[in-house]
Amino acid sequence: MNSPQNIFSRQPQGSRSPSAEDPVARAASTREILHVDLDAFFASVEQMRDPSLKGKPVIVGGDPDGRGVVAAASYEARKFGIHSAMPTARAKRLCPHAVFVRGSHALYSEISSRFFEILETYTPLVEAMSLDEGYLDLTGCARLHGGPAEKTAVRIRHYIEQELGICASIGMGTNKLIAKIASGLAKPNGFLRVPPGEERNFLKPQLIGRIPGIGPKGGEQLNRLGIKTIGQLTMLPLEELEKNFGEWGRRLYFRSRGECDSPVQAREESAKSISRETTLEEDSLDRPYLIAMLSYLTEKAAAQLREEGLYARTVTLKLRFSDFKTITRSRTFKESASEDHILFEAISKLFAIAHMDRIPVRLVGVSLTGLTTERQTQLDLFQPTAPERWNRLYKGIDRLRSKYGFDTVLRANSKLARSTADLAVGRRRAKNRQERA
């Protein structure tokens, strides 16, 4: 089981990748993402529980004479061509001396929780993908961990083996896609790091089946086009992929280039959202007024976001019309944000598209999701001080508000909402007085 640690250090041959040596590209891709995956999880747990099974082909998945399927196979069993989802009867024919065990899901989930507890001692930014695999975002943790992320990855592997008695493989790269493909190649019991800028060289010779989301069927379709490796896939223009495969083709185009900006989302945060919505005094078609209300709600939501020290990846606009039909429209950013002006710009653009029909609006709402505790950012070399400047500005605003009340400082847009709302409240009070009179 103790294969040496693979370190991806292959230099590109002939034409060197320009991005590998380009400092701008390097600085823009400094995320450090790990994909940690336990090896042959169920089967490894069985071998750990009963050491006499170590080194033997072990198949988890019930009665070999019944009609079940293989849930997991140890690496010793995989040598016989056995893989998960294969009928157990077939597995038995391929390897008659294999040890078949029913498996204990209570034990697997207990070990799974311990696995994630271990990962969470390194960073709160852990995203669980299944019982035995997860992503970690170690960006900017070097000082905390007393060394670069690749050293931390090696420590994590040792710690898991020591604590759980089973092996993990880890892939490391600048995004989730690269980390995931790297861990697959590192298996079993290995570590593989793809340095920033090397993504495309790393992917080029790999078979297309390595890209998550390409199943046997999709692979077959691509093979028919003569495409076997990821490098060959990058030769197809975006239009052709879209024409043949639609949205999936579009995703393939970017994945084959190693591009993926999906953030690592910790469990609680990914489910959480911060929203503000309000039912209007009267159904309205008044665009400036509706935009003003949205601006005010965005400011309210963003203030809470910053108070909780969070950043949002996705903003969602909600509109309910006078006929009670409700729509939502979302936009996901490349970089997470907590600034009013960025969040509101997205909301107002969504509104411009969503509010095309001239139906009066009854309710407006804003919600922020994809929340993270750290800003998922790509360094902007041309404006290195911009984020700090905005941070200072919004910190100042938040301080003033906590002292003198939320409405002390408002965007020009929001002020209109307040004064219109005040007017509306005034009108309603006047009307109530009249009715009482």
Interface positions with Mg ion (CB under 5 A):
37-38, 41, 132
Residue (101 or 364) nearer to Mg ion, CB: 101
Residue (163 or 239) nearer to Mg ion, CB: 163
From residue 244, alpha-carbon distances to 209, 225, 227 in Å are: 18, 10, 14
Residues 6+ apart with CB under 8 A from 349: 331
Q: Which two tokens stand for residue 169?
A: 């493989």
Q: Which two tokens stand for residue 292?
A: 């003003």
From residue 415, alpha-carbon distances to 129, 286, 304, 340, 405 in Å are: 44, 16, 19, 14, 14
Minimum CB distance to Mg ion, residue 36 (Å):
9
Minimum CB distance to Mg ion, residue 164 (Å):
13
User: Would residue 21 show up in a list of annotated catalytic residues for this protein?
Assistant: no
Minimum CB distance to Mg ion, residue 41 (Å):
5
Given 32, 133, 150, 198, which residue is catalytic? Answer: 133
DSSP 6: P
Residue (37 or 340) nearer to Mg ion, CB: 37
Q: How far apart are the first and last CA of the chain?
A: 88
What is the DSSP track for 85-106? TSBHHHHHHH-TTPEEE---HH
Q: Which residues pair with 87 in a beta bridge?
A: 69
> CA 126, CA 267: separation in Å to the nearest integer?
7
Residue (168 or 266) nearer to Mg ion, CB: 168
The residue assigned the tokens 């170690």 is 138
Residue (132 or 150) nearer to Mg ion, CB: 132
Cα 59 from chain centre: 32
Q: Which residues are catalytic?
A: 133
